[in-house]
Amino acid sequence: MRRIAGQAHRAHRAAQAVLAILALGLVTACGGGSGERAGDAPSPVPSVSFAAPGQAAAPAAHQKLGRGEVRLEQGPFTDRVKVTGGALGAGSAVTGHLAVTSDVSELIALEVRAAYYDADGRLLGTGSFHYAEEGHDEHAAGHTPAAEGPGIDFRVRPSALTGTPAGVVISIPVLVNE
């Protein structure tokens, strides 16, 4: 009987030793030890890209607007911004100014979408404006939006229209600031 009890005791102690070794290995592998050498440099921070949602809502097929009206559609970011100076101009471009009102941090990424409607309220087409803090100097047609200061000017050009727009509904599916 003593012999069996001694073997059980040794087996129990061996199991405890194995568990202790495994726990030490896990702690070391998960960064529990210092592991850093004096000459190690911190890893560079990778570039971050913010993509628009893959399944953004399609614009309404019908929307009654006044001639020249530019309406801001309510969405997830409309309580954080103020859009002023919205105008439907030459070439059906929609222009305006967007300022973040929730705080004073810098704008990192923005998307403004426009849905163009005729006088009868039928959807004619869409367009979008994209801004990203990095690479914003690369916009076509010499228009470089600036996000410094009290906001950003935007210009949305339609990609293709099936008629002459009378009004526009803009939406903001992407807004990223610090």
Task: Give pLDDT, residue 133.
Answer: 80
Judged against a pLDDT cut of 70, whether residue 159 lies above it is answered with yes
> Per residue in 107-146, pLDDT tens?
899 999 999 999 999 999 999 999 998 654 444 444 445 4
3-state helix, strand, coil in the chain (%, to 5): 20, 35, 45
Q: What is the CA radius of gyration of the chain?
A: 29
Q: What is the per-residue pLDDT across 51-97, written as a single tens digit (0 to 9) for each?
A: 445 556 788 899 999 999 999 999 999 999 999 999 998 889 999 99
Cα 78 from chain centroid (whole Å): 15
Q: Distance (Å, rounded) from C-alpha 32 to C-alpha 40?
A: 17
* 5-34 residue pLDDT tens: 444 444 444 445 444 444 444 444 555 444
Question: Which residues have a Cβ under 8 Å from the Cβ of 28 and sit 6 or more positions away?
Answer: 35
CA 118 to CA 124: how far, in whole Å?
7
Residue 35 has pLDDT above 90, yes or no: no
Q: For position 39, what pLDDT does the model report?
A: 54
Q: Which residues pair with 158 in a beta bridge?
A: 127
Written as six digits, the tokens of 158 are: 């339609």
Mean pLDDT of all residues in 144-169:
83
Nearest to residue 52, comparing CAs of 178, 177, 175? 175
Residue 37 is encoded by which pair of tokens?
A: 């050498």
Q: Which of residues 58 and 49 earns the better pLDDT score?
A: 58
